[in-house]
């Protein structure tokens, strides 16, 4: 299946189970002081979980644009360096607002993966919340028992609060979760080390694909948990990871979510992409292909790069991409804006806001690139001239001067 077909089949599956499709909300958050950007599909439904608004549809599905680059969920430093984290990503989700709970969430997730997507059952592992004394929470026996009806016990692993108790931020709706992990290693590797030993161990081919959260609590600002008025389901599946699995490749960047962007970076830079995890050129190509999505979608959703708050986060993401392009791909002219048309071609149909703002995104990105390249060249010259005069350490005054030039810390030895 192509990425587009995968998205469609997920939404069709849940529509057939009486879920209402709700479009992705803007990735930029304007009305919640606890968040800068949407970090999960459930954000737009926060008030439904809390019981603050009337529930129109008790079953909902969607594919939400998310950005995990600030606050509690921040993957930025992993992006490009590994092959399965992203700044902007799509989260496929199904929700129940006071309707079905653990049993249906678990059995439908299994049905979708193994019957619709035809994922091999013995590639899958599931995790269950083991409980947490500090919050007075017990092992999620209910989830464990439902899973036992579907998979053998050796595939059900216990997870701690960090991995198996999902919270939106420092406060807000939360609850125990059950994750589905997939092992896409070769048979030879599987024979050497069982997949169960690699779950939640940052292995690039044994990764979480779907998180089923059973929303039952609200974390108060005081840190205490308060029971929600009703029980809800919030599931989130990594669309790019699912595309990797279903397209039989070993990296999200080798799926057709990314290959058109990567091909364009290759064309513009003249470097080859070899799908290596450790290659510096490949990392740079991944960083650029990833970051253009975050920046273009943020602009399409009304967030311009700037010097403060959310705008500054977007500016830094773009500058990270420019820096990788400059230092690893030898590109000293604006080029990232040229990827926006490729992105529009791929995603503009499902996310029409992108097509509408495509020209604006190109213009803003190009100007930002131009400005930052000038700054980068100036700063690097300054550093090179200075470093000729010192042998070991640079003094603090100069370090701050340099910091001022770049606007944020840069590792010039990278
Ligand atoms: N909120 C959960 C997550 O982001 C499931 O959607 O993982």
Please say if the pLDDT value at position 125 is more than 90.
Answer: yes
Q: Is 172 in the pocket of ligand 1 (CB under 6 A)?
A: no
User: Cβ atoms within 10 A of the Cβ of 403, count?
Assistant: 13
Confidence of residue 410 (pLDDT cuts 50, 70, 90): low
Confidence of residue 408 (pLDDT cuts 50, 70, 90): low
Percent with pLDDT over 70 in the chain: 98
- Give pLDDT, residue 75: 77
Measured in Å, residue 73 CA sits from the centre of ligand 1 at 11
Picking from 347, 395, 339, the residue whose alpha carbon sits closest to that of residue 366 is 339
CA angle 55, 57, 60 (to 5 degrees): 120
- Give pLDDT, residue 378: 87
To test the pocket of ligand 1, the residue of 63, 72, 234, 241 to mutate (highest count of ligand atoms within 8 Å of its CB) is 234
Measured in Å, residue 31 CA sits from the centre of ligand 1 at 20
| pLDDT, mean of residues 52-63 | 96
- Give pLDDT, residue 368: 97
Please say if the pLDDT value at position 396 is more than 70.
Answer: yes
- Give pLDDT, residue 411: 63
Please say if the pLDDT value at position 108 is more than 90.
Answer: yes
Measured in Å, residue 37 CA sits from the centre of ligand 1 at 14
Q: Which long-range contacts (CB under 8 A, 24 or more apart) does 311-314 make?
A: 313/36, 313/37, 313/69, 313/70
| Strands 59-67 vs 20-21: parallel, antiparallel or unpaired | parallel
Q: Is 93 in the pocket of ligand 1 (CB under 6 A)?
A: yes
Please say if the pLDDT value at position 202 is more than 60.
Answer: yes
Please say if the pLDDT value at position 155 is more than 80.
Answer: yes
Q: Which long-range contacts (CB under 8 A, 24 or more apart) does 345-351 make?
A: 345/260, 346/3, 346/257, 346/260, 346/261, 349/4, 350/4, 350/7, 350/63, 351/24, 351/65, 351/297, 351/300
Confidence of residue 266 (pLDDT cuts 50, 70, 90): very high
Residue nearest (by alpha carbon) to ligand 1 atom 6: 236
Q: Cα separation of 173 and 217, whole Å? A: 6
Q: Is 236 in the pocket of ligand 1 (CB under 6 A)?
A: yes
Q: Is 245 in the pocket of ligand 1 (CB under 6 A)?
A: no
- Give pLDDT, residue 413: 54
Is 0.75 surpassed by the pTM of this model? yes
To test the pocket of ligand 1, the residue of 67, 72, 91, 219 to mutate (highest count of ligand atoms within 8 Å of its CB) is 91
To test the pocket of ligand 1, the residue of 219, 235, 240, 241 to mutate (highest count of ligand atoms within 8 Å of its CB) is 235
* Rg, Å, the chain Cα set: 22
Q: Is 169 in the pocket of ligand 1 (CB under 6 A)?
A: no
User: What are 336-392's pLDDT values in tens digits?
Assistant: 999 999 999 999 999 999 999 999 999 999 999 999 999 988 888 888 888 778 777
User: What are 20-35's pLDDT values in tens digits?
Assistant: 999 999 999 988 887 8
Residue 118 Rama label (left phi>0; alpha psi -120 to 50; beta)? left
Q: Is 164 in the pocket of ligand 1 (CB under 6 A)?
A: no
CA separation (Å) from 108 to 113, 114, 136, 248?
9, 10, 30, 23
CA separation (Å) from 47 to 34, 63, 97, 228, 382?
13, 19, 11, 11, 51
CA 123 to chain centre: 22
């Amino acid at each position: 299946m192509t990425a587009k077909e995968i998205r469609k089949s997920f939404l069709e599956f849940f529509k057939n189970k009486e879920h209402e499709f709700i479009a992705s909300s803007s990735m930029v958050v304007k009305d919640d002081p606890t968040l800068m950007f949407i970090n999960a599909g459930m954000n737009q439904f926060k008030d439904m979980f809390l019981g603050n608004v009337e529930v129109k549809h008790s079953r909902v599905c969607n594919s939400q644009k998310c950005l995990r680059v600030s606050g509690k969920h921040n993957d930025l430093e992993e992006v490009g360096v590994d092959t399965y984290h992203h700044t902007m990503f799509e989260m496929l989700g199904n929700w129940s607002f006071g309707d079905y709970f653990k049993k249906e969430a678990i059995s439908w997730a299994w049905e979708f993966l193994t019957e619709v997507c035809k994922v091999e059952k013995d590639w899958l592992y599931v995790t269950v919340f083991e409980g947490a004394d500090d919050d007075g929470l017990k092992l999620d026996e209910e989830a464990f028992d439902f899973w036992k009806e579907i998979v053998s016990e050796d595939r059900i692993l216990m997870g701690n609060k960090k991995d198996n108790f999902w919270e939106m931020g420092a406060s807000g709706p939360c609850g125990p979760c059950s994750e589905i992990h997939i092992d896409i290693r070769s048979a030879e590797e599987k024979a050497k080390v069982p997949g169960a030993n690699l779950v939640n161990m940052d292995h690039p081919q044994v990764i979480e694909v779907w998180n089923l959260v059973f929303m039952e609590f609200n974390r108060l600002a005081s840190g205490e948990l308060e029971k929600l008025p009703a029980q809800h389901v919030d599931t989130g599946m990594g669309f790019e990871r699912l595309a990797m699995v279903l397209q039989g490749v070993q990296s999200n960047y080798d799926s057709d979510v990314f290959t058109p962007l990567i091909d364009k970076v290759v064309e513009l830079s003249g470097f080859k992409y070899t799908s290596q995890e450790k290659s510096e050129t490949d990392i740079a190509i991944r960083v650029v292909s990833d970051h253009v999505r975050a920046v273009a979608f943020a602009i399409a959703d009304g967030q311009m790069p700037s010097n403060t708050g959310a705008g500054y986060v977007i500016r830094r993401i773009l500058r990270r991409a420019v820096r990788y392009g400059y230092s690893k791909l030898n590109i000293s002219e604006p080029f990232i804006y040229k990827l926006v048309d490729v992105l529009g071609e791929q995603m503009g149909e499902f996310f029409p806001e992108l097509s509408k703002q495509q020209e604006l995104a190109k213009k803003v990105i190009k100007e930002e690139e131009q400005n930052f390249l000038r700054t980068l060249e100036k700063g690097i010259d300054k550093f090179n001239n200075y470093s000729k005069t010192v042998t070991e350490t640079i003094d603090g005054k100069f370090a701050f001067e340099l910091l001022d030039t770049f606007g944020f810390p840069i590792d010039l030895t990278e």
